Amino acid sequence: MFKEIKVMATGEMARSVAEEVTKGINMVLSPEGNPLLQLLITHDGSIVEGKIDLTKRRYRVDELIRCIDGEGNISPLLLLTSLDIYYSDLDFVFGFTDMFREVSVVSLARLIEEGVPVEKVVERTVKTAIHEIGHLKGLRHCNNRRCVMTLSFNVRDTDNKDKIFCNRCYSRLSRSGGLNETRHPCKY
């Protein structure tokens, strides 16, 4: 069963966007009305200020996770940020999950494109966040191109996948106790 996940947003993230993303994830993962995610905004809206160099162009996501790991017992945690993140030899990532620390990070930096309405950015962010929550529950990438667990190499890949798990991934979540709902909204 999913335990409640805390959602935090870095200071540059608009609270309204964080609220819409949280609402969108809850609608998919908790359709029965028991919210899975709880939005927390820290005292000043930033949990990274003063801990990382905010003048950098890109941020190594595992270092970002380490700097927020000292915030107390707040895991599992989903961090929403507009900071551009990368990992190891990957030039950028849309999201990243540290299963040991139970922390997922989703970056809007590459999900935002000029001329794209905010609703589309929220939809992309919801898909990316659900994907990372799947990793928190032990799911790996899926070969089903419609499944939310398929790997996105670019925003078009994110746009083309659904925001729900395929039957196989859903079944794996159910067997592991990762879901608390009895019906699966997926049709494939």
Q: Tell me how far CA of residue 69 lies from CA of 65, 76, 78, 99, 100, in angstroms.
A: 6, 11, 12, 12, 11
The answer to whether position 185 is within a domain reads no
The answer to whether position 186 is within a domain reads no
The answer to whether position 147 is within a domain reads yes
**d(Cα 48, Cα 147) in Å, to the nearest integer?**
32
pLDDT of residue 2: 54
**d(Cα 128, Cα 103) in Å, to the nearest integer?**
14
176 φ/ψ angles, rounded to the nearest 5 degrees: -85, 0
pLDDT of residue 43: 36
Contacts of residue 139, Cβ cutoff 8 Å, sequence gap at least 6: 149, 165, 169, 172, 173, 178
The answer to whether position 160 is within a domain reads yes
Positions marked catalytic:
132
Parallel/antiparallel/unpaired status of strands 103-107 and 77-81? parallel
Q: Would you say the C-alpha torsion 55, 56, 57, 62 has a positive or negative sign?
A: negative
pLDDT of residue 37: 65
Distance, CA of 108 to chain centre: 10
Domain residues for 170?
A: 5-175
Over residues 84-124, the pLDDT tens digits come to 888 888 888 999 999 888 889 999 999 999 999 999 999 99
Q: What's the predicted TM-score (pTM) here?
A: 0.84
CATH at 13: 3.40.390.10
Give the number of domains in the chain.
1
The answer to whether position 180 is within a domain reads no
pLDDT of residue 49: 59
- Buried b or exposed e, range 49-72, using 16+ CB within 10 angstroms: eeebeeeeeebebbebbeebbeee
Which tokens go with 36?
A: 């899975």
Where the chain has pLDDT below 50, the residues are 1, 42-45, 181-183, 186-188
The answer to whether position 184 is within a domain reads no
The answer to whether position 188 is within a domain reads no
**d(Cα 125, Cα 166) in Å, to the nearest integer?**
19
- Contact at 8 Å (CB) between 38 and 4? yes
The answer to whether position 106 is within a domain reads yes
